[in-house]
Structure 1
């Protein structure tokens, strides 16, 4: 049976980066011990969706054994150098960029501070997708867990077999074991993170 949980900004937790270079805001996380929308511990997690502010060039923290997807949601953009390869540039609301968590990654904002959204997945236990939507737009997502987050404006999530639910700016809707359509009106923006257990 699908379950729905609305998360407001008070449910988010700000945690320091592993390398001490900044702060991440966790929107939702599931420790390997079991499902929760609460904060992560020092242990491993099955998946995590978070938003981070990057104000200056620097390295990413290493997350061995994880797959990462990242996308810019505020600011101009960033360049990522992964394991010494030529830099890859991502602008605001470009498709998510995937890379292994154990890679050595150098990030450089292209024109001032940025904010990015991250989906991290325990490679042995989960796969997933990270989609950004700028209105007017609509999409459909399904998975063991789907997180819909309203970046700007209010978006509407319509779970299969349930009433439409408004998700205000800065809030998230966590859907477990189900599918839903998300509608993003003109001027609004949203993130959709879908996770499937292996």
Structure 2
């Protein structure tokens, strides 16, 4: 169980916000293979760029997400996938948070399922993130040549 309240926030790479890194794995060369984090979103901001990563973004409150010039209004629980190299920004009417799962392109693929906290986690979950009265179950599928 990953509990964001037990992790101190750190600044985004671009300094435009903060995140709580909950779990991550790197390869022997120090390259990130996957990372699970919770972003505090309290003002309109561009996202940091993560070359070679794929991002699964889960809005935990209402916001507008712009990816490479295309804007989508999102509500709590909605998900978006985009490349770490994409030009991404959020705009807000009120502060909120978001779950981010980043995976090294071609090595892993993430899936996230939200459920009520009192429901039992399904089998095959790699990590569960505590989100108050909800939990996010994260699956990190290792990709092979056949699944890419």
Band the TM-score falls in, shorter-chain normalisation: 0.7 to 0.9
Q: TM-score, normalised by structure 1?
A: 0.65
Q: Which has the higher strand share?
A: 1
Deviations 1:3-25 (A, max 9, x none): xxx55568635321010111110
Q: TM-score, normalised by structure 2?
A: 0.84
Maintained 8 Å contact 2:21/2:35: yes
| Cα distance, 1:83–1:7 mapped onto 2, change above 3 Å | closer
Tell me which of 116, 136, 145 is aligned to 1:191: 136
The reply to whether residue 131 of structure 1 matches residue 118 of structure 2 is no
Which residue of structure 1 aligns with residue 131 of structure 2? Answer: 151
- Structure 1 unaligned runs (5+)? 1-5, 35-42, 153-187
Which residue of structure 2 aligns with residue 84 of structure 1? Answer: 69
- Structure 2 unaligned runs (5+)? 144-148
Structure number with larger C-alpha Rg: 1
Shift of 1:115: 0.6
The reply to whether residue 142 of structure 1 matches residue 137 of structure 2 is no
Deviations 1:37-75 (A, max 9, x none): xxxxxx5311000001111111111111111011122x4
Counterparts of 2:12 and 2:56, CA distance in 1: 17
| Cα distance, 1:7–1:191 mapped onto 2, change above 3 Å | closer
The DSSP-based 3-state class of the residue aligned with 1:24 is strand
Which residue of structure 2 aligns with residue 68 of structure 1? Answer: 55
Cα RMSD for the two superposed structures: 2.2
Shift of 1:138: 4.9
| Cα distance, 1:11–1:136 mapped onto 2, change above 3 Å | closer
